[in-house]
Structure 1
Amino acid sequence: MNNNHLHHESGNFLEFLFLLLIVIILMIYIIATVLSNRHYKRWPLHRTVFWILGTVCVATAVVGPLAHRAHIDFTVHMLGHLLLGMLAPIFMVLAAPTTLFLRTLNVKTARRLSSALKSRPLQLLSNPIVTTLLNLGGLWILYTTNLYSMTHQNIFLHLFIHLHVFIAGYLFTISMIYIDPVSNRYSYIYRSIILIIALAGHGILSKYIYAHPPIGVLAAQAELGGMLMYYGGDLIDIILIFILCLQWFRASRPRNKVNELLGS
């Protein structure tokens, strides 16, 4: 009884930390928008809307009723995975946060940040192969070992997995579609090939989950969760594919004006 009470208290504290972090991230972006508008032309409203949508997806996945239900229902857990690791990163990448923050900094600091973004470690983390391994590889380890069941027993591991899912999803997204400036641009063909491989790997994993439930997961929940991962993942991936193809079309036909949504 005492252990359950401690676990409940730890869960409440973790939820508070998640919520606090989400609010801070949202406020930093809004403050940066205000500062940027004082010195440059107005920051596009749709960028801010994308950032808000992204933070809402993150909040829904880690705080509140859905997050609570995810602890006992694998299908709901998988919905949280789609929101946290796939949909939220797309929205937040479309918000172009790096471009916004560069606009708010003085010239000297902005140049330092630009130099840091060109460093070898960050270049490595922008390679689609590396980001695919971090993103997809992490999911395979999570669902094909006892790691998933361990996250329900260790609050810090639970926190780490959530952070990894989001960060890996974000890095994967920025390696596939270029909204913010990047130091090393990979070809559209290269990115498309890696994206196809990643989508195939995601689909195979969802089928594996359907047939081989993770440790501690009921077969019925694993089947529903696997189906949600497969079809829900495909729906979100369509957004990523559409943006990549539209950027490719724009690059091949520079005179054709495409929505500002896709960046310059």
Structure 2
Amino acid sequence: MEHNHVHHASGLAGDLLLALPFVLAVIIYILLGWVSNRRHKRWPIYRYLSLFFGVLSASMALMGPIAKLAHENFIAHMVGHLLLGMLAPLLFVLAAPMTLVMRTLSVGAARRLSRILKSFPVSIYCHPVAASILNIGGLWVLYTTELYSGMQSNLLLHIVVHVHVFLAGYLYTISILYIDPVPHRCSYTFRAVVLILSLAAHGIISKYIYAHPPVGVPREQAEMGGMVMYYGGDMVELVLIFLFCRQWYKAARPRTVLSITP
């Protein structure tokens, strides 16, 4: 693929613009942690690390060598997809940002936020089925239509696609892995079924890309990109599966009942 204006626009100013939301996220998260620590038990260090590495993962997909190479190399694009759409959302979820916000707010504000989280629109987008459709369905549209080639020549479309990839990955992860408070909870069995089906669909997309390169992508790059998506995605998915099964085991484990014999 030839260089295009999206590539030329990705200079220092473009990188700073793309990095701004993630830098603000880190600053706000640290400030919330500082306020929360004054009222409650200290916020765990590993939560800060999760957010930091989540921001780092997303930033690597949006700027720097990988992002610049992704404009002309499908393999690099797929590495960016794994960083932005799979690894970064998982790390953000492990940072438990909504729990931190709830700890920081006053009682009245926390109740208002809780009512918003319990609203019908939020419950729809956070439902495992809807979140899976947004996540996996978006990938099908991106790689089986001319959307991928279009985003390489349109800066606004390029940004919109990347924002969708991250948000869809985040919604999907919070719909499967309950770290933050979830007003509308689905059973472990239901989420396990959705997880298995979505993992299968992700693998099918990878194989489809291998056999049917997206518009404008050389076959050699499509084959290698499909393999990166398949095996790299498996690594992130294994972590998600492990955390999900760990939660399920803890929830199903019988509680020890202490009895005193007279």
Distance 1:56 1:47 in 2: 14
Distance 1:91 1:213 in 2: 30
Asked whether the 8 Å contact 2:7–2:68 carries over to 1, the reply is no
1:158-197 equivalent positions in 2, closer than 5 A: 158-197=158-197
Mapped pair 1:206 → 2:226: no
Distance 2:6 2:174 in 1: 36
Distance 1:90 1:205 in 2: 20
Name the residue aligned to 2:90.
90
How far is the alpha carbon of 1:255 from its aligned partner? 3.6
Asked whether the 8 Å contact 2:207–2:226 carries over to 1, the reply is yes
Give the aligned residue type for 1:232. G
Asked whether the 8 Å contact 2:48–2:95 carries over to 1, the reply is yes
Mapped pair 1:66 → 2:66: yes
Name the residue aligned to 1:102.
102
Change (3 A) 1:9 1:210: closer
Give the aligned residue type for 2:231. Y
Asked whether the 8 Å contact 2:75–2:225 carries over to 1, the reply is yes
Asked whether the 8 Å contact 2:144–2:214 carries over to 1, the reply is yes
Asked whether the 8 Å contact 2:36–2:43 carries over to 1, the reply is yes
Name the residue aligned to 1:10.
9
Asked whether the 8 Å contact 1:11–1:155 carries over to 2, the reply is no
Partner deviation per Cα, 1:14-53 (whole Å, 9 max, x = no partner): 3221111111111111111111111111001111110101
SS of aligned partner of 1:186: coil
Give the aligned residue type for 1:11. S
Distance 1:106 1:95 in 2: 21
Distance 2:219 2:227 in 1: 12
Distance 1:105 1:56 in 2: 27
Distance 2:14 2:115 in 1: 35
Distance 1:83 1:229 in 2: 11
Give the aligned residue type for 1:91. L
The gaps in structure 1 that reach 5 residues or longer are: 257-264
Give the aligned residue type for 2:10. G
Name the residue aligned to 1:78.
78
Change (3 A) 1:183 1:147: same
Distance 1:89 1:220 in 2: 29
Asked whether the 8 Å contact 2:60–2:66 carries over to 1, the reply is yes
Distance 2:67 2:176 in 1: 28
Distance 1:202 1:242 in 2: 18
- Shifted more, 195-204 versus 16-25: the winner is 16-25
Mapped pair 1:23 → 2:23: yes
Distance 1:64 1:48 in 2: 23
Distance 1:209 1:62 in 2: 22
Give the aligned residue type for 2:90. I
How far is the alpha carbon of 1:8 from its aligned partner? 5.2
TM-score by length of 2: 0.94
Name the residue aligned to 1:250.
250
Give the aligned residue type for 2:83. L
TM-score by length of 1: 0.93
How far is the alpha carbon of 1:78 from its aligned partner? 0.3
Partner deviation per Cα, 1:157-195 (whole Å, 9 max, x = no partner): 000000000000000000001000001110011000011
SS of aligned partner of 2:10: helix
Asked whether the 8 Å contact 1:70–1:76 carries over to 2, the reply is yes
Distance 2:66 2:254 in 1: 44
Give the aligned residue type for 2:157. L
Asked whether the 8 Å contact 1:188–1:248 carries over to 2, the reply is yes
How far is the alpha carbon of 1:110 from its aligned partner? 1.0
Give the aligned residue type for 1:89. P
Aligned length: 253
Name the residue aligned to 2:259.
none
Partner deviation per Cα, 1:196-245 (whole Å, 9 max, x = no partner): 10001000000000000000101000000000101111111000101111
Name the residue aligned to 1:260.
none
